[in-house]
Amino acid sequence: MTSQNTPPEGRTTWSMDETGQVATILVDRAAKLNAFTPTMLTDLERAVAEVEASEARVALVRTAGEKVFCVGADITLFSQLTSVQMWRDWIGVGHRVFNALEALRCPTIAVIDGLAFGGGLELALACDLRIIADGARLALPETGLGTVPGWGGAGRLPKLIGAARAKEMIFARHEIEAARALDWGLVNAVAPAEQLEETVQQWVTDVRASAPVANALAKQLITASLEGASPHLIEGLAGGLSLATEDLREGVSAFTDKRDPEFTGR
């Protein structure tokens, strides 16, 4: 995606499509390869909160420019911080913002159209689904700078690809190409660059076709299960809650009538 009149410190914005159901969060600092600044993190936090308050059924996370998704944190900024500032104002804020993105009620899809390094990959890891162009590469190179992943990479990555592969990416700083990322389960789909948008729109269509409340409940179920909650308990509670929704009645009615359901998110 392209941007105009972007301030030097960058920005993060969001918009809604004409249906009022698909939100797009745009990380915008193409001139600096979308390297994150404090301003961009603050903007991202605000955007996530506003998407959460909207009627969005799916949110896309995109970045400005071409060939680079995001190279992570702006090294020239965080290298000047004191230890306390690094802990409190950089890593702490980043965790809070990326955790909020991860916790969004609606499903999120990271559209990775180029390099996703460091905090850029961590941004994608905070999303539910990842769709990648076939020429893109993924990496966590922080140990080569003398530091470590700071925005959830060391926690989220092993859950997706296992500890050994996560250690390879962090210790050896190996860049992972699209095909291997798909094979490892790091991404959900790979598409040629010229077909990336078509692929993204098909995924958006598929996600939107599910009941919004059911998607939100399923998202929370998966998160709770990964954190050690009993699936037997939480699935029973969520299933019971779904019985009170208009969407379930519509889904059953549509199934009986052999038609597509028209979910309202109620």
- Give catalytic residues, as residue numbers: 122, 142
Residue whose token pair is 């390869």:
33
C-beta separation of 242 from 218 below 8 A = no
Burial of residue 255 (number of CB atoms within 10 Å: 0-12, 13-18, 19+)? exposed
CA-to-CA distance for 41 and 208, rounded, in angstroms? Answer: 28
Say which residues have a Cβ less than 8 Å from residue 108's Cβ, sequence separation at least 6.
58, 59, 60, 61, 101, 126, 127, 128, 129
> What ranges make up the beta strands (E) of the chain?
11-16, 22-28, 58-63, 67-70, 108-112, 114-117, 129-133, 137-139, 176-177, 189-191
CA-to-CA distance for 238 and 183, rounded, in angstroms? Answer: 32
CA-to-CA distance for 238 and 221, rounded, in angstroms? Answer: 8
